[in-house]
């Protein structure tokens, strides 16, 4: 979603997009379009979301016409599951319609379009804003401030309209004139054609959801228990929603809005680093063109709330890393941290530094679904799946789990049960291969004198691979099978660290690169600050292991 900043000059418009971002970002549900990140440049605000390329529910209805009760129930179960999750978080969508139900490539539907969504301070609160899509607006919304206000029941009304559209083929109040449509909604004037009922009690659910008075409509839990939603899935029941959040203080919202306004008016800088991260976290390695410090102003508006989420993710990632190879990771991390600690103030240097010729050149983080894919400097492709398994493919199409030679095999003789992962691996490889043109050259290039080391490395008794990885607030860290530690920072700088070679390769934000013995580091505050950060992260890994 791209929002031009020329449309955000008014305070109301800025508050609206901030609310949309804040609400959508807080929702995590399989049937809600996933919010990935937001960033901006001088002209626009960008909201990056899950790609849903296979049409919307409106397109399905337009092509198919009315659906069977079994088909409609399948869609409604997923919609109701998502709405129940929203209501449990005191969120009202307020714009549910067939066109906001997106059809993903993974055979499921996902609710999107949170531009009109709101979060209640408590369950007794009522909203009076007139908003929504004409065919789907509830009568109490049309009443605006003249009525008693609206709440969760407006989403139930919209579900009734969607159910009618699925079973009949058109929305119940649709006319060629908006005012005529509103008149029919206020009068509750709709009817069922003879083809409307399809054996699942659909008309009963629709009549209950489209009750003129909000208090007469079923709750979302009651909708979920209706017989129509069990057509084709007799044992289905809605998942227990998370507990509702505590009542929020309005002053906190006002404070966040004030902070956002102040930040929004600051002079904007280039967001080159943020744009690069937005491409599915595919970060082209240096040389870089001196990107200024990224300043995600929208994020700073809610820094306090995001810190908790960030720390939670970092803790979870660190826990997974430690669980996979705790002893091995701790040993390597301890060696690297010790090397930094003992060498940072020494004055002796080794003349011939030979850095292990293996590093990550490109990667893509798709842990929201499958895992992390990467390419090494020797052409090896690998994937670390979310179930903690690994798959590695050499340039000559040899496959392995990364453990030993005995696990290596050519693709025609792959063991049974790996077909899905092999397919995913090939998708990762295809994406990373296509993205190669975005990378000017490798992040670290060894001297020509050391090029024979690369050939020798390719003949090791196992395929090189990433053993572990960790994403922190400021960087992404890779631990390679040759015990190299690689850290790529969000500002574009990079550190490669080898305890065995007692050396580090540092690439600055401007793309300047240097190889240094840990025994004699230059008096570069940028390098020393990053090494200190790496040391702290490695110490945390050692303690958690």
User: What is the average per-residue pLDDT within 230-236?
Assistant: 75
- Choose the catalytic residue: 41, 95, 204, 387: 95
Q: Of 202, 230, 258, which marks where a domain is finished?
A: 230
Query: What confidence tier does 449 reach under pLDDT thresholds 50, 70, 90?
Result: very low
Q: How many domains does the chain have?
A: 2
Q: For 311-348, how does the pLDDT look when each residue is reduced to its tens digit (9 = 90+)?
A: 444 444 444 444 444 444 444 555 555 544 444 443 33
**Reported confidence tier of residue 487, pLDDT bands at 50, 70, 90:** very high
Contact 474, 534 (CB under 8 A): no
Output the DSSP codes for 213-253: SGGGSPPHHHHHTSGGGGTT-TT--PPPPPPPPPPPPHHHH
Higher pLDDT residue, 127 or 293?
Answer: 127
pLDDT for residue 383: 93
Given a contact cutoff of 8 angstroms between Cβ atoms, the answer to whether 271 and 296 are in contact is: yes
Q: Which residue has the higher pLDDT, 524 or 416?
A: 524
The rounded distance, in Å, linking the Cα atoms of 535 and 337 is 5
Domain interval for residue 219: 52-230
Residue 105 burial by CB count (10 A; 0-12/13-18/19+): exposed, middle or buried?
A: exposed
Q: Is residue 241 part of a domain?
A: no
3-state secondary structure (DSSP) of residue 492: coil
Task: Give alpha helix (H) positions in 265-370.
Answer: 272-278, 297-300, 303-324, 326-343
Tokens of 415: 């063991």
Query: Looking at the predicted structure, is the pLDDT value of residue 112 above 70?
Result: yes
pLDDT single digits (tens) 334-385: 555 554 444 444 333 334 455 666 889 899 988 888 899 999 888 889 999 9
pLDDT tier at 517 (50, 70, 90 boundaries)? confident
pLDDT tens per residue, range 187-211:
999 988 864 445 568 899 999 999 9
Question: Which has the minimum average pLDDT: 227-241, 257-271, 507-521?
Answer: 257-271
Residue 224 pLDDT greater than 70, yes or no = yes
**Count of CB atoms within 10 A of residue 223's CB?**
25
Beta partners for residue 101, in sequence order? 111
480 and 336 both lie in a single domain: yes
pLDDT digits (tens, 9 = 90+) for 241-270: 555 665 544 444 455 544 444 444 443 444
Cα–Cα distance for residue pair 201/69, rounded to 1 Å: 9
Across 95-115, average pLDDT: 86
Q: Dig out the tokens for 379 from the structure.
A: 């052409």
Which of 174, 200, 230 corresponds to the end of one domain? 230
CATH number at residue 161: 1.10.510.10
Cα–Cα nearest to 264, from 296, 232, 305: 296
Share of the chain above pLDDT 70, in %: 65
Instruction: Determine which of 88-92, 166-170, 295-299, 311-315 has the lowest per-residue pLDDT on average.
Output: 295-299
In a domain, 284, yes or no: no
Instruction: Give percent of the chain with pLDDT exceeding 90.
Output: 32
Give tens-digit pLDDT for 135-167: 999 999 999 888 899 999 999 999 999 999 999
Neighbours of 429 (CB within 10 A): 16
Strand partners, 466: 480
Q: Give just the sign of the alpha carbon dihedral 141, 143, 144, 150.
A: negative
The pTM score is 0.48
User: What's the count of helices (H) and strands (E) in the chain, helices before strands?
Assistant: 16, 19
Q: What's the chain's length in residues? A: 545
* pLDDT higher at 228 or 196: 228
Q: Are residues 320 and 196 in the same domain?
A: no
Tens of pLDDT, residues 35-77: 999 998 889 999 999 888 768 899 888 888 888 888 899 999 9
Tell me which of 500 and 87 has the higher pLDDT: 87
Q: What is the mean pLDDT of residues 379-392?
A: 89
Check whether 105 has a pLDDT greater than 70.
no
Q: Is residue 385 part of a domain?
A: yes
User: Over 50: is that where the pLDDT of 294 sits?
Assistant: no
**What's the mean pLDDT when you consider all of the chain?**
75
Residue 372's pLDDT is: 92
pLDDT of 281 > 60? The answer is no
> Same domain, yes or no, for 346 and 492?
yes
**Residue 95 designated active-site:** yes
Please state, in angstroms and rounded to a whole number, the distance separating the CA atoms of residues 339 and 189: 77
Cα torsion 25, 27, 30, 33: sign: negative
In-domain check, residue 456: yes
Residue 287 falls inside a structural domain: no
For the residues 389-404, what does the mean pLDDT come to?
68
Pair 16, 115: CB distance under 8 Å? yes
Q: What is the DSSP string of 429-471?
A: HHHHHHGGGG--S-S----GGGHHHHHHHTTSSS---EEEEEE
129 in a domain, yes or no?
A: yes
Q: Return d(Cα 140, Cα 525) in angstroms, integer.
A: 62
Q: pLDDT value at position 201?
A: 81
Q: Is the pLDDT of residue 128 over 70?
A: yes
Q: Which residue has the tokens 């006002």?
A: 254
CATH number of domain containing 518: 3.30.1120.30
Sign of torsion, CA 137 139 143 144?
Answer: negative
The tally of CA atoms less than 13 A away on the side-chain side of residue 338 is 9
pLDDT at residue number 202: 87
Alpha carbon distance 335, 313 (integer Å): 26
Best-predicted range by mean pLDDT (110-114, 290-294, 435-439, 449-453): 110-114
* Cβ–Cβ < 8 Å for 203, 197: yes
265-293: average pLDDT:
41
More confident residue, 354 or 449: 354
Buried b (16+ CB within 10 A) or exposed e, 490-514: bbbbbbbbbbebbbbbbbbbebebe
Q: How far, rounded to the nearest angstrom, does the alpha carbon of residue 18 sit from its chain's CA centroid? A: 18
Mark which of 184, 201, 230 sits at the end of a domain: 230
Q: Which residues contact 152 (CB under 8 A, 6 or more apart)?
A: 87, 92, 219, 220
Question: In the beta sheet, which residues pair with residue 468?
Answer: 479
Is residue 63 domain-shared with residue 155, that is, in the same domain? yes
Q: What is the pLDDT of residue 210?
A: 96
| Spatial distance between the Cα atoms of 189 and 177, rounded to a whole number of angstroms | 15
**Do residues 316 and 429 share a domain?**
yes
CB neighbourhood size of 146 (10 A): 7
Question: Counting Cβ atoms within 10 Å, is residue 415 exposed (0-12), middle (13-18) or buried (19+)?
Answer: exposed
More confident site: 398 or 179: 179
In a domain, residue 275? The reply is: no
Classify residue 20: in a domain, yes or no.
Answer: no
């Amino acid at each position: 979603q791209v929002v031009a900043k020329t449309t955000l000059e008014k305070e109301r418009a800025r508050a609206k997009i901030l609310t949309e971002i804040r609400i959508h970002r807080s929702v995590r549900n399989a049937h809600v379009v996933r919010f990935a990140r937001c960033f901006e440049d001088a002209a626009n605000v960008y909201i990056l979301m899950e790609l849903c390329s296979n049409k919307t529910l409106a397109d399905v209805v337009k092509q198919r016409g009315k659906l069977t009760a079994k088909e409609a129930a399948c869609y409604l179960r997923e919609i109701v599951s998502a709405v129940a999750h929203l209501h449990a978080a005191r969120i009202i969508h307020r714009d549910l319609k067939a066109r906001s139900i997106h059809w993903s490539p993974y055979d499921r539907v996902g609710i999107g379009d949170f531009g009109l969504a709101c979060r209640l301070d408590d369950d007794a609160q009522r909203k009076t804003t007139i908003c929504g899509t004409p065919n789907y607006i509830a009568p109490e919304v049309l009443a605006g401030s003249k009525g008693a206000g609206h709440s969760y029941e407006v989403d139930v009304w919209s579900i009734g309209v969607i159910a009618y559209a699925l079973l009949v083929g058109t929305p119940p109040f649709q006319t060629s004139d908006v005012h005529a449509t509103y008149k029919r909604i206020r009068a509750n004037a709709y009817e069922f054609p003879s083809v409307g009922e399809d054996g699942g009690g659909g008309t009963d659910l629709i009549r209950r959801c489209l009750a003129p008075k909000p208090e007469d409509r079923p709750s979302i839990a009651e909708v979920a228990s209706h017989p129509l939603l069990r057509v084709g899935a007799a044992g289905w029941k809605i998942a227990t929603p998370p507990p509702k959040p505590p009542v929020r203080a309005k002053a906190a919202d006002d404070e966040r809005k004030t902070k956002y306004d102040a930040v929004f008016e600051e002079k904007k800088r280039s967001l080159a680093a943020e744009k690069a991260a937005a491409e599915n976290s595919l970060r082209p390695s240096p040389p870089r063109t001196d990107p200024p410090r990224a300043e995600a102003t929208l994020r700073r508006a809610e820094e306090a709330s995001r810190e908790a989420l960030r720390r939670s993710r970092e803790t979870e990632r660190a826990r997974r890393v430690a669980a996979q190879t705790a002893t091995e990771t701790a040993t390597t991390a301890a060696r690297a941290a010790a090397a930094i600690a003992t060498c940072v103030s020494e004055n002796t240097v080794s003349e011939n530094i030979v850095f292990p010729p293996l590093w990550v050149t490109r990667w893509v983080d798709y842990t929201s679904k499958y895992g992390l894919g990467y390419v090494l400097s020797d052409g090896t492709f690998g994937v670390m799946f979310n179930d903690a398994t690994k798959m590695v493919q050499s340039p000559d199409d040899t496959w392995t789990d990364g453990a030993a030679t005995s696990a290596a095999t050519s693709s025609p003789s792959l063991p049974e049960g790996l077909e899905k992962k092999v397919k995913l691996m090939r998708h990762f490889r295809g994406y990373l291969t296509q993205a190669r043109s975005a990378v000017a050259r490798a992040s670290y290039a060894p001297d020509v004198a050391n090029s024979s080391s690369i050939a020798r490395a390719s003949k090791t008794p196992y395929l090189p691979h990433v053993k572990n990885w960790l994403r922190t607030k400021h960087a992404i860290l890779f631990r390679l099978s040759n015990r190299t530690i690689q850290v790529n920072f969000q500002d574009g700088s990079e550190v490669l660290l080898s305890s065995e070679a007692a050396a580090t390769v540092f690439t600055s934000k401007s793309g300047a690169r240097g190889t240094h013995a840990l025994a004699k580091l230059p008096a570069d505050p940028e390098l020393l600050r990053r090494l200190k950060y790496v040391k702290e992260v490695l110490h945390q890994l050692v303690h958690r292991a």
